[in-house]
Chains A and B, each alone.
Chain A
């Protein structure tokens, strides 16, 4: 409210902090500075950004420009003091703006409606006037039922001057709070992010198959983060589309152990993590262990009659093939074996386990070497033996590690709560409006004049149509009654 007193300094600051102008300025600054952070790669090494900066200022000026930008925090700008300050100022702006406006909105929503003077009624954004032959009492009850049908609870007042009656009603007043919930939800998200930053952590953990750990490691610093329980990787596997090298699935089987006891077990995959006691394990990478000490080759032995049995074997250690009189020995392994198209020679094309194969020597009675050949996981046929039996290569266990992202974020539920609130409130803010209707009914003995005025704080166009429907409802109701 404007007062004549000269404004004090605190008043001035308050009025700046509550202004939409400040909001517009802050949003503009946030947007423009954010652009810089997408051009300069964040939290990366010097070489990369020097190259980016030389694109703009030339390689001569680049080191100086880098220094200046670095001093201003642009190499990690979204965590810099000035970006944080902008966000704080932005939040203060939101809070002060709401404190300043909410009481007024509260009053608009909760104040009872009062009948309007003719000149005000005739100046409303939406107006209609009809004259009917019915009696004013009939008109009043029809108007009331039409308002009720429109979702309003009608009230009425009789004028002491000319005895005319005004019926009025409103709906959707609460929708005026929608934008304030939108603004509040931004703060809820901020609080959630702060809670997560203070009480949560984010780290990584590379677990070879068959090993466990009771800690994760901070990215960058490598600092140990105790988990409070133990997690073990039982199995890691990449699945591919058909026989191609296009990965279809990365999955690990994890077990959670407390005091040596198994309390949880789950296959995790990208988009489907495991959560235990607030700590979540995400499948984020994988990789080979070049010389696995405890690696075991897993074979599926199929007998001619359809039976199936798993056999685990060590490199260079013969094992009996169940259901046959033969032994097998793994003598060589390749993570990705293929044949050179030109020379026909076998070679390993990548160190990651895309197309694993084992070279197996078959013997009988421990002495007689029958043959030596490669068995591919991708082509089970390569493991065919005589008589319909097969030695299928399934996995080289212990030769890969699973890369886990480990996170604890006690603030994430607040972030999601804020997101849900914001989504609902945005809908309310844009698509629901505070609508009011006044209907003045005045009889002059033979005819009744009905004056309709209406207003909506948003989407007037849509409400105009509704009011037109109400008017035709009134007309129809009264003609029917005559």
Chain B
């Protein structure tokens, strides 16, 4: 089987698993829960196989173009971490792996209903946006082992942050008493923003690069692009705000306390933060060897630093009296919004403003 068939199987499995986990949340039948875990694990195995299949396909391509290179060089140059598509796939893979571990350690399946939708949404985003899936030869700047380390480490870190994102969402729902509570309103704001950003990113990619002005530079996107999307946000917000609280009843029937959720959020960030740090460091080393500057304050770099600040903020706010709990969960959400922006926003939104970048 080739890699794309295997990827389709895993996408399909995660979407079914998402439905199963949500059904499990609603009906609390052990059988449904077991099935959800089984389907997720099957999806994970298919995705792992897909990643290796893609690796071997790009290896064959690399060797065709560079028959003189050694096997080892060929393996590292064709590692499937080379573009937006492959990194998104790896991000989902890491997140599912971490989730399966956490499900096993904490013996609690209710988180699946929050994690698998992230996988489902991200994969649907790839499909809808038609992000380049074809295997392309690497441009010279990307031919670096530091780059592979950089992508591998960063996206594994993002996977860990995604888990914290899921548990912080659950935390805020569980801790909210009514729809007027500030923390609940913030949650609805952030959650609908997350969905909205995915929709904007998708729309931005589908409609291609922003038009060029007379001078050949990007002219930015016009009102016809932004207006309908801006109008969509309040609708999304209202739906999330109106129906979000009904999840509280579902969640509270599980053996879950805000303390456990706080602990898992912290653990996700305790794994993600050192990885993000290493990711920024390996990125700096790569930039240094390619261009002779380890830090140039370009928007992508700066946004990864902003993400780093956001999670440093989370870590230190826990040390402040009265912050642990709802407030730190909010900071964890902000951290993940920053992750998503670093990842998609910089390419898709800021590149509309500036002339660099592009998918």
Known pairs A39-B350, A42-B297, A284-B292; A423 contacts B306 (CB<8 A): no
Stretch at the interface among A60-68, A242-250, A320-328: A242-250
CA distance A272 to B294 in the complex (A): 15
- B140 A250 Cβ-Cβ under 8 A: yes
CA distance A168 to B14 in the complex (A): 50
- B302 A37 Cβ-Cβ under 8 A: yes
Instruction: Return chain B residues, CB-CB under 8 Å to A202.
Output: 292-293
B89 CB → nearest A CB, Å? 23
Q: B128-143 CB contact bits vs A (8 Å, 1 = yes)?
A: 0000000011011101
- B320 A21 Cβ-Cβ under 8 A: yes
- A282: Cβ under 8 A from any B Cβ: yes
Q: A247-281 CB contact bits vs B (8 Å, 1 = yes)?
A: 11110000000000000000001111100000010
- A107: Cβ under 8 A from any B Cβ: no
- A271 B141 Cβ-Cβ under 8 A: yes
Instruction: Return chain A residues, CB-CB under 8 Å to B286.
Output: 271
Q: B307-347 CB contact bits vs A (8 Å, 1 = yes)?
A: 00110110011011000000000000000000000000010
- A249 B140 Cβ-Cβ under 8 A: yes
Instruction: Return chain A residues, CB-CB under 8 Å to B108.
Output: none
Instruction: Return chain A residues, CB-CB under 8 Å to B277.
Output: 422-423, 426
Instruction: Return chain B residues, CB-CB under 8 Å to A193.
Output: 295
24 contacts between A and B (CB under 8 A): A20-B320, A23-B316, A24-B316, A27-B309, A27-B312, A31-B306, A34-B302, A34-B305, A37-B297, A38-B302, A41-B354, A52-B354, A78-B297, A202-B293, A246-B137, A247-B139, A270-B140, A271-B140, A271-B143, A271-B290, A406-B292, A415-B294, A422-B281, A431-B270
- A446: Cβ under 8 A from any B Cβ: no
The residue on B at minimum CB distance from A185 is B277
- A423 B289 Cβ-Cβ under 8 A: no
How large, as a class, is the contact surface on chain A?
35 or more
CA distance A430 to B311 in the complex (A): 14
Most chain B CB inside 10 Å of its own CB: which residue of A37, A78, A419, A431: A419
CA distance A51 to B270 in the complex (A): 41
Known pairs A52-B354, A412-B294; A427 contacts B302 (CB<8 A): no
CA distance A270 to B312 in the complex (A): 34
Interface of B is mostly: helix
Instruction: Return chain B residues, CB-CB under 8 Å to A406.
Output: 292
- A377: Cβ under 8 A from any B Cβ: no
- B292 A20 Cβ-Cβ under 8 A: no
Instruction: Return chain B residues, CB-CB under 8 Å to A284.
Output: 291-292
Instruction: Return chain B residues, CB-CB under 8 Å to A431.
Output: 270
- B294 A38 Cβ-Cβ under 8 A: no
- A48 B291 Cβ-Cβ under 8 A: no
- Interface residue count on the B side (C-beta < 8 Å): 51
- B353: Cβ under 8 A from any A Cβ: yes
- B117: Cβ under 8 A from any A Cβ: no
Q: A14-38 CB contact bits vs B (8 Å, 1 = yes)?
A: 0000001101100110110011011
- A273 B289 Cβ-Cβ under 8 A: yes
- A110: Cβ under 8 A from any B Cβ: no
B150 CB → nearest A CB, Å? 12
Instruction: Return chain B residues, CB-CB under 8 Å to A407.
Output: 292-293
B346 CB → nearest A CB, Å? 7
A426 CB → nearest B CB, Å? 4
The 5 closest A-B pairs by CB, nearest first: A31-B309, A38-B299, A426-B274, A407-B292, A282-B292
The residue on B at minimum CB distance from A424 is B274
Known pairs A280-B292, A282-B290; A55 contacts B139 (CB<8 A): no
Instruction: Return chain B residues, CB-CB under 8 Å to A419.
Output: 281, 284
- B313 A31 Cβ-Cβ under 8 A: yes
- B263: Cβ under 8 A from any A Cβ: yes
- B313 A430 Cβ-Cβ under 8 A: no
- A405: Cβ under 8 A from any B Cβ: yes
The residue on A at minimum CB distance from B269 is A430
The residue on A at minimum CB distance from B334 is A31
- B281 A34 Cβ-Cβ under 8 A: no
A421 CB → nearest B CB, Å? 11
Q: B154-186 CB contact bits vs A (8 Å, 1 = yes)?
A: 000000000000000000000000000000000
Instruction: Return chain B residues, CB-CB under 8 Å to A412.
Output: 288, 294
A residues engaging B (CB < 8 A)?
20-21, 23-24, 27-28, 30-31, 34-35, 37-39, 41-42, 48, 51-52, 55, 78, 193, 202, 241-242, 246-250, 269-273, 280, 282, 284, 405-407, 412, 415-416, 419, 422-423, 426-427, 430-431, 461
The residue on A at minimum CB distance from B307 is A31
CA distance A423 to B157 in the complex (A): 14
The residue on A at minimum CB distance from B270 is A430
Instruction: Return chain B residues, CB-CB under 8 Å to A27.
Output: 309, 312-313, 316
Known pairs A407-B292, A423-B278; A48 contacts B317 (CB<8 A): no
CA distance A422 to B220 in the complex (A): 40
- B290 A270 Cβ-Cβ under 8 A: yes
- B65: Cβ under 8 A from any A Cβ: yes
A105 CB → nearest B CB, Å? 14
Instruction: Return chain A residues, CB-CB under 8 Å to B59.
Output: none
Interface of A is mostly: helix
- B320 A24 Cβ-Cβ under 8 A: yes
A24 CB → nearest B CB, Å? 5
The residue on B at minimum CB distance from A284 is B291
CA distance A5 to B72 in the complex (A): 69
The residue on A at minimum CB distance from B217 is A48
Instruction: Return chain A residues, CB-CB under 8 Å to B263.
Output: 461
Chain B stretch 255-290: residues in CB contact (< 8 A) with chain A: 263, 270-271, 273-274, 277-278, 281, 284-286, 288-290
- B316 A248 Cβ-Cβ under 8 A: no
- A271 B273 Cβ-Cβ under 8 A: no
The residue on B at minimum CB distance from A270 is B140
The residue on A at minimum CB distance from B310 is A31
Pick the contact of A51: B66, B144, B220, B294 (CB < 8 A): B220
- B291 A423 Cβ-Cβ under 8 A: no
Give 15 new A-B contacts, CB below 8 A, not counting A34-B302, A55-B220, A247-B140.
Answer: A20-B316, A20-B319, A27-B316, A34-B305, A34-B306, A55-B353, A78-B297, A193-B295, A241-B65, A246-B139, A271-B289, A271-B290, A282-B291, A419-B281, A426-B273
Instruction: Return chain A residues, CB-CB under 8 Å to B312.
Output: 27
- B4: Cβ under 8 A from any A Cβ: no
Known pairs A27-B313, A38-B350, A248-B137; A270 contacts B274 (CB<8 A): no
- B189: Cβ under 8 A from any A Cβ: no
CA distance A78 to B303 in the complex (A): 13
- B355: Cβ under 8 A from any A Cβ: yes
The residue on B at minimum CB distance from A186 is B312
CA distance A31 to B312 in the complex (A): 10
CA distance A27 to B334 in the complex (A): 14
Instruction: Return chain B residues, CB-CB under 8 Å to A461.
Output: 263
B341 CB → nearest A CB, Å? 9
- A241 B137 Cβ-Cβ under 8 A: yes
CA distance A72 to B292 in the complex (A): 29
CA distance A125 to B353 in the complex (A): 54
A195 CB → nearest B CB, Å? 13
A90 CB → nearest B CB, Å? 11
CA distance A427 to B303 in the complex (A): 23
A381 CB → nearest B CB, Å? 19
Instruction: Return chain A residues, CB-CB under 8 Å to B293.
Output: 202, 407
CA distance A277 to B295 in the complex (A): 22
Instruction: Return chain A residues, CB-CB under 8 Å to B306.
Output: 31, 34-35, 38
